[in-house]
Amino acid sequence: MKILLLILVIGLICADQSPIDLSQLSGEWRTLYIASSDPVKTHGNAPFLVFKREIYFNTENGKVVLKYYVMENGQCVPVTVTGTRIQGNVFAGAYAGANLYEPIYASETSMVTYNINLDENNEVTKVLDFLGRGPQVNEVDFEKFKELTQEMNIPEENIVNVINYDNCPENL
């Protein structure tokens, strides 16, 4: 399992498009779209249909804190996950298995994050999140999200418009 995780780390690091200044990314974010290599994990009460609200990068301590909601039995359930920097802008954390998490694109109003999940059945799932500072979609950034989805070999039909499902409170 550790060898597989190491291979995933190398793949995630190679996927990095350009250095991103994490200090500019902390704060409120909202999930707008999600793309997954396994669409079962991003529909209904699936673990990766998440409604992000806040992301905080602590570059001095090498930590990231993600705050979001997931749906369980029709209810918005708050979740907080803390990750530890393992290299560059790549963080490891535990949620529905082992995860590697990295912001791979950012603008003033949008961010795309890349997550590789190794679940309890040793199945690997790639997930890209398209996040906004608010509920509006920046079309230029959304096109970049779709390009990155293609680069990660995730079919466009696996993109989920999370805005249509998000009825959770604005704040945690």
> Distances from the Cα of 112 to the Cαs of 123, 131, 148, in angstroms?
23, 6, 9
Would you tell me which CATH number, out of the four given (1.10.3720.10, 3.30.870.10, 2.40.128.20, 2.60.40.420), belongs to the domain 2-164?
Answer: 2.40.128.20
- Residue 92 CB: number of other CB atoms within 10 A? 19
CB 142 within 8 A of CB 38: no
Mean confidence (pLDDT) of the chain: 89
Rounded Cα distance between 82 and 65, Å, is: 4
Q: Over the stretch 82-113, which tens digit does the pLDDT of each residue have? A: 999 999 999 999 999 999 999 999 999 999 99
* pLDDT one-digit tens code per residue, 18-44: 578 898 999 999 999 999 999 999 987
Closest CA to 26 of 61, 54, 51, 52: 54
* Backbone dihedral angles phi then psi of residue 66, each to the nearest 5 degrees: -110, 130
The residue extents of the domains of the chain are 2-164
pLDDT at 7 over 60: no
- What pLDDT, in 10s, does the model give residues 121-152? 999 999 999 999 988 899 999 999 999 999 99
